[in-house]
């Protein structure tokens, strides 16, 4: 029971403590007070409630305006924390007296029993505590008198916080509960395809991060000017810096969507490699990266990255498809199906990230922030499936596997196809043996031919009747 309480309560308390400390530091820096004194601590405790909900991706209403575009960086941190503690909890439960004591090397029955007796309680406890904390935090919000005039639906807060915690905890307990072994029992082309798809998604996001870094360096002066204009003092600058860091993963996903083609939109402002619509931008430093004119001349080169990623996926999976191919009418599908699995995996992962990166942003000219879910899903699948399938078909060997078709091809002693009587091929075997007689045997036969005719006939009779038995 103590293990379940620790696994369920520690993430809630730690995440709340972190946002309270950060809020206290920012508030104290902005107001010139000490972090532990009034009004810094009181304001921080009040601000921590809506911030905790935002960290858990719960939609808020701030000063009557909807806020659905929530920062992904702290949500990723909370997810990692919950997953790590859930894994540790399952390992500790397995090590107790009466536990199986071998969380990584048991058979199927033990793995199933571990999931029902240890994994399910851990996931349920984490989800229940986070759902209750979400409901309580939403109920404690005071939109009229609070430090941050925010409000949230208790039902939505409980559902979203509980679901996020349940998914994170499930990911944490998957390894100790034997999910890896179950995945390894899937057909080889499925597992290889899923791994290649995850790698393709990571490569695309890494490309978006690299693009964002290049654009930040190119617009460094504009970003610095935004900091100086919006938050000239140290406290405001620290808060603005934390805000930008919290939303940095959102910007990376938007950049990845730009590389894939669908792009993104902030209110009336839209950006894509094929076109851009400039307009009013939000007063934050990251907004300096939004387009102020048509796309640059090199924008078309952005498609080289998803093209390269899809080609690499096809190259890596070509041997997998070739190993499953049998040369029949379904040979083409067998060659490309690992690539299709990889394309679907990458598309789903990137589309979910796109859906989480956008959302409502007030009710003014910057609303909404859109990273198109459907566009990213289709584009990511196409960029991985089409070039990947082409490369897989061209890179894979087209002939039969090594050893198939060559077995027995160099001998005449193999029975003819469709022959039911192996004895029909014995004359061919005899001919091969006669051809392979050493020269000395041939000389002896020639010498015998010069002797008496009766002796020759006698020896011919012996050969017809078979070799004489040895005494």
Query: What's residue 404's pLDDT?
Result: 42
Residue 230 pLDDT exceeds 50: yes
Query: What's residue 362's pLDDT?
Result: 84
Instruction: Using alpha carbons, list the distances in angstroms from residue 347 to 158, 375, 389.
Output: 29, 10, 15
Query: What's residue 340's pLDDT?
Result: 95
Residue 409 pLDDT exceeds 70: no
Rounded average pLDDT over 136-147: 81
**Quick one: tokens of 75?**
């949500």
Cα torsion at 84, 86, 89, 95 (round to 10°)?
A: -80
Residue 246: is it exposed, middle or buried by C-beta count within 10 angstroms (0-12/13-18/19+)? buried
> Which is more confidently placed, 233 or 164?
164
Rounded average pLDDT over 87-99: 80
Residue 443: is it exposed, middle or buried by C-beta count within 10 angstroms (0-12/13-18/19+)? exposed
For the stretch 437-468, pLDDT in tens is 444 444 434 334 444 444 433 444 444 344 44
**Quick one: tokens of 55?**
């960290």
Q: Using pLDDT thresholds of 50, 70 and 90, give the confidence band for residue 80.
A: very high
Query: What's residue 118's pLDDT?
Result: 82
pTM metric for this prediction: 0.78
Nearest to 101 by CA among 118, 122, 81: 118
> Which is more confidently placed, 246 or 457?
246
Query: What's residue 343's pLDDT?
Result: 97
Cβ proximity of 306 and 313 under 8 Å: no
Q: Using pLDDT thresholds of 50, 70 and 90, give the confidence band for residue 100.
A: low
For the stretch 337-346, pLDDT in tens is 999 999 999 9
Name the least confident of 177-186, 227-236, 297-306.
177-186
Name the least confident of 94-108, 221-235, 414-428.
414-428
What does the angle CA 306 – CA 309 – CA 310 come to, to the nearest 5 degrees? 85
Residue 402 pLDDT exceeds 90: no
For the stretch 414-435, pLDDT in tens is 444 444 444 444 444 444 344 4
Residue 246 pLDDT exceeds 70: yes
Average pLDDT along the chain = 79
Q: Using pLDDT thresholds of 50, 70 and 90, give the confidence band for residue 331.
A: confident
Residue 394: is it exposed, middle or buried by C-beta count within 10 angstroms (0-12/13-18/19+)? exposed
Q: What percent of the chain stands above pLDDT 90?
A: 44
HEC letters along the chain: CHHHHHHHHHHHHHHHHHHHHHHHHHHHHHHCCCCCCCCHHHHHHHHHHHHHHHHCCCCEEECCEEECCCCHHHHHHHHHHHHHHHHHHHHHHHHCCCCCCCCCCCCHHHHHHHHHHHHHHHHHHHHHHHHHHHHHHHHHCCCCCCCCCEECCHHHHHHHHHHHHHHHHHHHHHCCCCHHHHHHCCCHHHHHHHHHHHHHHHHHHHHHHHHHHHHHHHCHHHHHHHHHHHCCCHHHHHHHHHHHHHCHHHHHHHHHHHHHCCCEEECCEEEECCEEECCCCCCCHHHHHCCCCCCCHHHHHHHHHHHHHHHHHHHHHHHHHHHHCCCCCCHHHHHHHHHHHHHHHHHHHHHHHHHHHCECECCCCCCCEECCHHHHHHHHHHHHHHHHHHHHHHHCCCCCCCCCCCCCCCCCCCCCCCCCCHHHHHHHHHHHHHHCCCHHHHHHHHHHHCCCHHHHHHHHHHHHHCCCCCC
Q: Using pLDDT thresholds of 50, 70 and 90, give the confidence band for residue 324.
A: low
Nearest to 180 by CA among 164, 200, 197, 194: 194
220 contacts: CB under 8 Å, gap ≥ 6: none
Q: How many CB atoms lie within 10 A of CB 454?
A: 8
**Quick one: tokens of 276?**
């851009």
Instruction: Using alpha carbons, list the distances in angstroms from residue 369 to 69, 254, 288, 354.
Output: 7, 10, 15, 11
> Which is more confidently placed, 146 or 195?
195
For the stretch 345-367, pLDDT in tens is 999 999 999 999 999 988 888 88
For the stretch 8-59, pLDDT in tens is 999 999 999 999 988 888 777 665 555 545 555 777 788 899 999 999 999 9
Give CA–CA dist 169/81, Å, rounded: 9
Query: What's residue 410's pLDDT?
Result: 42
């Amino acid at each position: 029971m103590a293990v379940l309480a620790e696994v369920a309560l520690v993430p809630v308390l730690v995440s709340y403590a972190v946002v309270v400390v950060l809020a206290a530091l920012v508030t104290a820096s902005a107001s010139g007070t000490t972090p532990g004194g009034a009004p810094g601590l009181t304001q921080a405790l009040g601000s921590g409630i809506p911030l905790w909900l935002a960290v858990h991706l719960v939609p808020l209403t701030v000063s009557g305006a909807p806020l659905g575009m929530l920062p992904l960086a702290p949500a990723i941190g909370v997810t990692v924390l919950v997953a790590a503690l859930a894994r540790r909890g399952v390992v500790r439960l397995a090590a107790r007296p009466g536990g199986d004591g071998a969380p990584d090397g048991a058979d199927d029955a033990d793995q199933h029993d571990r999931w029902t007796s240890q994994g399910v309680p851990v996931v349920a406890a984490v989800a229940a505590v986070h759902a209750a904390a979400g409901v309580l935090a939403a109920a404690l919000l005071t939109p009229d008198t609070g430090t941050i005039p925010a409000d949230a639906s208790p039902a939505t807060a409980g559902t979203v916080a509980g679901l996020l915690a349940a998914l994170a905890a499930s990911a944490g307990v998957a390894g100790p509960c034997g999910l890896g072994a179950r995945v390894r029992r899937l057909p080889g082309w499925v597992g290889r395809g899923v791994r290649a798809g995850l790698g393709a998604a990571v490569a695309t996001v890494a490309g978006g991060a690299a693009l964002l870094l290049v654009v930040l360096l190119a617009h460094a002066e504009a970003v610095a000017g935004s900091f100086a204009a919006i938050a000239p003092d140290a406290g405001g600058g620290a808060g603005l810096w934390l805000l930008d860091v919290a939303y940095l993963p959102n910007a990376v996903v938007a950049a990845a969507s730009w590389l894939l083609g669908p792009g993104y939109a902030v209110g009336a402002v839209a950006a894509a490699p094929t076109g851009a619509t400039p307009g009013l931008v939000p007063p934050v430093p990251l907004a300096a990266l939004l387009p102020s004119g048509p796309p640059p001349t090199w924008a078309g080169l952005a498609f080289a990255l998803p093209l390269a990623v899809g080609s690499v996926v096809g190259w890596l999976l070509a041997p997998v498809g070739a190993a499953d191919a049998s040369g029949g009418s379904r040979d083409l599908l067998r060659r490309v199906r690992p690539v299709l699995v990889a394309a679907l995996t990458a598309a789903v992962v990137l589309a979910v990230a796109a859906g989480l990166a956008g959302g409502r942003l007030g009710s003014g000219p910057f609303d909404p922030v859109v990273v198109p879910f459907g566009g990213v899903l289709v584009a990511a699948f196409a960029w991985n499936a089409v070039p990947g399938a082409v490369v897989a078909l061209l890179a894979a060997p087209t002939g039969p596997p090594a050893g198939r078709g060559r077995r027995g091809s160099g001998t005449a002693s193999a029975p003819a196809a469709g022959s039911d009587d192996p004895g029909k091929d014995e004359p061919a075997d005899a001919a091969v043996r006669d051809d392979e007689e050493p020269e000395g045997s041939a000389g002896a036969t020639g010498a015998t031919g010069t002797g008496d005719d009766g002796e020759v006939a006698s020896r011919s009779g012996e050969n017809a009747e078979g070799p004489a038995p040895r005494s």
